[in-house]
Amino acid sequence: MGVTMQLPRDAILLRIFFGEDDKFEHLPLYEAIVLKAREMHLAGATVLRGQAGFGHSSRLHTTKILRLSQDLPIIIEIVDTQPKIDAFLPTLDKMMTSGLITIEKVQVLQYGNSSTSG
């Protein structure tokens, strides 16, 4: 049986931007971050793959170039309480060599459902 987690109405959105080719300990960075977030019992994580983007280098990454797509943008979004996000940040810092991390205050309207089956 899974653990039921509750999120308060006021929460924090952690948004992590980096390139698809980034790695951590031989794993794709996005996979390593999601596994670590799960291990640390964060409420959830979503990985989004961008169609185009650029970062501090201003080098454009896009799916429209005729060659195979290279190093497309990845965004991971995690919503949880301030203390849980704060506890995750030092771990995240050790995993990332470059990228962008942002934090926003958000209001949670719904998390999960009221159904008891799962």
Residue ranges of domains in the chain? 14-99
Q: Which of 91, 74, 77, 89 is nearest to 25 (CA)?
A: 91
At the topology level of CATH, where does 14-99 sit? Answer: Alpha-Beta Plaits (3.30.70)
Local confidence pLDDT in tens for the 118 residues of the chain: 455 566 768 899 999 999 999 999 999 999 999 999 999 999 999 999 988 777 666 566 555 555 555 778 999 999 999 999 999 999 999 999 999 999 999 999 887 775 554 4
* pLDDT at residue 118 in the model: 45
